[in-house]
Structure 1
Amino acid sequence: MFPLKKVFANKKIIIALVVLAVLVLGYFYFSRMIKTKEHISSNNLDALLAIIDATGVSDDNKIQAIKLLNISDPRYADIINSTDGNKMNKIKRLLNITA
């Protein structure tokens, strides 16, 4: 067995252990932060904008199509699952599109 005093006497080993610890802690911190912040992917955003801009389609059918996108952002989920009749206008306001 190596004595711990000799192992920790080498500054390069200490620096490597500190860097490793920072990387591991950073990985867990950022992976947790990313999981808690749900964002719409660019593909879903493109599809959402295409659904909103579709002509000749009723708002109810647009809402059903938006539900199929499975957007997990709670702001959109609250609007889609609400019983209010102005769902499309609220989604447009959320996307900063003039209603």
Structure 2
Amino acid sequence: MIGLVIGLSVATKPKCDLIEDERSVKVREKAGYSAFIAMLLIATIIVLLRMLKLSPSLTPSIELTDGVRNIWIIGVWIFITFRWYYNKTGE
């Protein structure tokens, strides 16, 4: 439902509103790179905790798809946070 509303709002905007400047492209690229690195670090930490069996909540009984989905959701939120942060700092 939310995707339909967002899709309709984007489809009805004129093309001149969708043109991005260099700064917004740079912010999005930097946020994407930082979010990717953060997701890799989170996934590495989870794998290490599972290998060393230091965390009982990360036992192998948890399905891999659940873990991947959770890491992906965390990555999306990290990307949004980094994009907001880099927009505020002007980098």
Higher helix proportion (structure 1 or 2): 2
Structure of higher RCO (CA pairs closer than 8 Å, 6+ residues apart): 2
> Which has more radius of gyration?
1
